[in-house]
Chains A and B, each alone.
Chain A
Amino acid sequence: MDKLKIGIPRALNYYHYKDLWINFFKALDCDIIISPPTNKAIIKDGLKYANDEMCLSLKIYLGHVSYLKDRCDYILIPRIDNYGLSDQTCTNFLSLFDIVNNIFNVKILNYNIDYCHGENEISAFINMGKVLHKKRWDSIKAYQFASVKANKECKKKVLNSFHKLKSDQTKVLLIGHSYNLHDAYLGQSIIYLLESLGIEVIMSDGFDPKMTNKLASSLSPSLYFKYSKEAIGTIDIVRNNIDGIIFLTAFPCGPDSLVNELVFRKITLPYLNLVIDDIDSLTGIETRIESFVDIIEQKKQLIN
């Protein structure tokens, strides 16, 4: 029998859980196909399926699903509701399964997380294994294997971030959702711009999310968006080592519009709020980034 082919869209939660997912399916002896880095064709396709109210990141996600739809046996679509009462996620993640199920005629492998109703990480993996006709024990072993691998990757990432913090260059913390920061079309073109201006870019997801999640309470004790907490908690770790903060938001992100506003009022570092939508021209973004870099470098000179 041929191996099962699992498709994973390279968008949204892929960037949070890629090491867990990929290693889990590897351990279960499945083939994995990941959609290519976002390009214009994918965005165009996504826009075709999306409605106007969706955020750019979700539109892009649908483009990735569309790329995979005839190329695999199952497409992994998460439904992530919450990690407990004080760790909620954006409603997009809650509705993702239903959106894809309604738009596409594909076989979906659901990764369901809902701690408030007893659906935790391990049960999510066991349930996926069940759909693929894998034994419960095999799934548990595969999950454990994947966790170890994912932890290793996380440690590597953290070491790399701390290494960057020691750099003599001007350093900027780029705060945003992982799926925007690492997206080939959105975040990467902005990071490229910053690096070409001689800036060391530190990413808000470059640290241990468990740690940053807790640290976020220094900015807001009552915030309950899990991914936002993990992003802004980073400020506490790096605040004495960086020269400025750039907030990267995909229009119209609900959690960001609230959380960024909250953070602006509580930080003393210079910051820039970049809101991006489906844009082909980077000129406007260039102006904003160049001016911001000018400001933080002038400030740096003044201090030295």
Chain B
Amino acid sequence: MKNYYIGIDIGSISTKGVIIDDNSNILVSKYIWTEANPIKAVKDLLKDLKMGIPKDGQIKGIGTTGSARKLIGLMVDASIVKNEITAHAIGTLHYYPDVKTILEIGGQDSKIIIINNGIVSDYAMNTLCAAGTGAFLTSQAKRLGLSVEELGQMALSSKTPVKIAARCSVFAESDLIHKAQVGYNKEDIVAGLCRSVVINYLNNVGKGKRIEGPIVFQGGVSKNSGVVKYFKEILKQDIIVDENSHLMGAIGIALLAMQNKTSKTYDLNMIDIRFETKGFECQGCSNNCEILKIYRGQKLIDVWGNRCPKGLKEENMNI
């Protein structure tokens, strides 16, 4: 029997999954939309991934990362659950051992990871604000009547990108509408939009960090060639975008699952088990914590969100 490992990266917008073998080769990969339902997304994802496992293969580990890592980790009984910074760094270091800087722009998070001698030495993430992330690009594309996939190519055809306020997505949006109404070309507006994402990123997330090459750019937005172009132009350095740039988190967590082998063999039958969450407000005190109860089948397997033990009591669970 051959051993395989699954890595799942459940982001706010998309869910990514890979299966790797003992030599870290990717056997299958899959990229689907989360559509605000991580449980369903992962079930669909695993159904697809399952087809790719050869008859003589067995799954010896599952890792989860991304913003829904805890929930899905519980659902698939993961052997490892890790945050996305570590997962991205491990995945990238596997392909680019001398990488110094990782730029990552995802659906609602953007981060910069600084690597020194093969370990993460510093990182930063966007703070409260999700300006300039994938979600912003998607909503602006819709406003312009385009699909988000078209933005990149269109931006490349522009020679004079318009200036769009980069600090805040609310201002950026009104700026964009004004520019459109004044009569600028769509290409130039789209190019301006891509450029504003880069400037926003460098001003917020990349602020004060020394961005040295080799630089790897990943996350969903790295598929946008317009954004890549402006990163190159503004940083005056080469930017590496791997063909699997959107899968790096999933690959990283799969590698971690491989490194932390378990004796357990996964049969992936959990995709047929009903898995449910119920939210309610705890009535134990005036904090009214929002508590999430997680059921596998009929069985309550975990409770989250309580800031004190009161949240675990049955009598406080009445909605």
Q: Which residues of A contact B (CB under 8 A)?
A: 39-42, 185, 189, 192, 251, 261, 264-265, 270, 273, 275, 277, 280-281, 283-284, 287-288, 290-292, 294-295, 298-299, 302
Q: How far is the CB of A167 from chain B (nearest CB, A)?
A: 24
CB <8 Å contact, B286 and A251: no
CB <8 Å contact, A287 and B121: no
CB <8 Å contact, B287 and A40: yes
Q: Of A275, A284, A291, which one neighbours B123 at CB under 8 angstroms?
A: A291
Interface-forming stretch among B78-86, B95-103, B134-142, B221-229? Answer: B78-86
Measured between beta carbons, the chain B residues less than 8 angstroms from A251 are 128
Q: Which of B119, B120, B121 has the most CB of A within 10 A?
A: B120
Known contacts being A189-B307, A265-B208, A283-B67, is A295 close to B287, with CB within 8 Å?
A: no
CB <8 Å contact, B286 and A264: no
> Considering the chains assembled together, what is the distance between the CA atoms of A292 and B124 in angstroms?
9
> Considering the chains assembled together, what is the distance between the CA atoms of A119 and B268 in angstroms?
72
Asked whether any CB of chain A lies closer than 8 Å to the CB of B122, the reply is yes
CB <8 Å contact, A270 and B122: yes
Q: Of B123, B128, B307, which one neighbours A277 at CB under 8 angstroms?
A: B128
Measured between beta carbons, the chain B residues less than 8 angstroms from A281 are 290
Q: How far is the CB of A112 from chain B (nearest CB, A)?
A: 33
> Considering the chains assembled together, what is the distance between the CA atoms of A251 and B84 in angstroms?
25
Q: How far is the CB of A113 from chain B (nearest CB, A)?
A: 32
Q: How far is the CB of A141 from chain B (nearest CB, A)?
A: 39
Known pairs A40-B287, A192-B307, A295-B121; list 17 more (Cβ under 8 Å): A39-B285, A40-B288, A185-B287, A251-B128, A264-B208, A273-B127, A275-B128, A281-B290, A287-B67, A287-B83, A290-B82, A291-B84, A294-B86, A295-B120, A295-B122, A298-B120, A299-B121
Measured between beta carbons, the chain B residues less than 8 angstroms from A270 are 121-122
Closest residue to B85 on the A side, CB-wise?
Answer: A291
Measured between beta carbons, the chain A residues less than 8 angstroms from B307 are 189, 192
Contact size range, B: 20 to 34
Q: How far is the CB of A28 from chain B (nearest CB, A)?
A: 32
Known contacts being A39-B287, A251-B128, is A291 close to B86, with CB within 8 Å?
A: yes
Q: How far is the CB of A288 from chain B (nearest CB, A)?
A: 6
Known contacts being A41-B286, A283-B67, A288-B125, is A294 close to B83, with CB within 8 Å?
A: yes
* In the complex, chain B residues 202-238 whose Cβ is within 8 Å of any chain A Cβ: 208
Known contacts being A40-B286, A40-B287, A280-B290, is A275 close to B208, with CB within 8 Å?
A: no
Known contacts being A39-B287, A264-B208, A265-B208, is A294 close to B119, with CB within 8 Å?
A: no
CB <8 Å contact, B127 and A275: yes
Q: Of A42, A277, A291, A299, which one neighbours B119 at CB under 8 angstroms?
A: A299
Q: Of B67, B109, B119, B287, which one neighbours A298 at CB under 8 angstroms?
A: B119
> Considering the chains assembled together, what is the distance between the CA atoms of A264 and B85 in angstroms?
20
Write the B270-304 contact mask toward A (1 if CB under 8 angstroms, else 0).
Answer: 00000000000000011110100000000000000
Known contacts being A264-B208, A288-B125, is A302 close to B290, with CB within 8 Å?
A: no
Q: How far is the CB of B30 from chain A (nearest CB, A)?
A: 23
> Considering the chains assembled together, what is the distance between the CA atoms of A17 and B280 in angstroms?
39
Measured between beta carbons, the chain B residues less than 8 angstroms from A275 are 127-128
> Considering the chains assembled together, what is the distance between the CA atoms of A298 and B93 in angstroms?
15
Selected A-B contacts with CB under 8 Å, 13 pairs = A40-B287, A41-B288, A192-B307, A251-B128, A273-B124, A273-B127, A284-B67, A291-B86, A294-B83, A295-B85, A295-B121, A295-B122, A299-B121
> Considering the chains assembled together, what is the distance between the CA atoms of A67 and B263 in angstroms?
56
> Considering the chains assembled together, what is the distance between the CA atoms of A61 and B67 in angstroms?
32
CB <8 Å contact, B83 and A290: yes
Measured between beta carbons, the chain A residues less than 8 angstroms from B83 are 287, 290-291, 294
Measured between beta carbons, the chain A residues less than 8 angstroms from B123 are 291-292, 295
Closest residue to B67 on the A side, CB-wise?
Answer: A283
Known contacts being A39-B285, A39-B286, A302-B119, is A287 close to B127, with CB within 8 Å?
A: no
Measured between beta carbons, the chain A residues less than 8 angstroms from B124 are 273
> Considering the chains assembled together, what is the distance between the CA atoms of A284 and B122 in angstroms?
18
Q: How far is the CB of A98 from chain B (nearest CB, A)?
A: 29
> Considering the chains assembled together, what is the distance between the CA atoms of A273 and B127 in angstroms?
8
Q: How far is the CB of A236 from chain B (nearest CB, A)?
A: 21
> Considering the chains assembled together, what is the distance between the CA atoms of A281 and B12 in angstroms?
15
> Considering the chains assembled together, what is the distance between the CA atoms of A284 and B127 in angstroms?
9
Closest residue to B129 on the A side, CB-wise?
Answer: A275
Write the B65-89 contact mask toward A (1 if CB under 8 angstroms, else 0).
Answer: 0010000000000000011111000
> Considering the chains assembled together, what is the distance between the CA atoms of A277 and B208 in angstroms?
23
Q: How far is the CB of B282 from chain A (nearest CB, A)?
A: 10
A-B pairs, top 10 by smallest CB distance, nearest first, are A291-B85, A41-B286, A290-B83, A275-B127, A39-B287, A39-B286, A291-B83, A40-B287, A294-B86, A295-B120
Measured between beta carbons, the chain A residues less than 8 angstroms from B84 are 287, 291
Q: How far is the CB of B87 from chain A (nearest CB, A)?
A: 10
> Considering the chains assembled together, what is the distance between the CA atoms of A287 and B307 in angstroms?
17
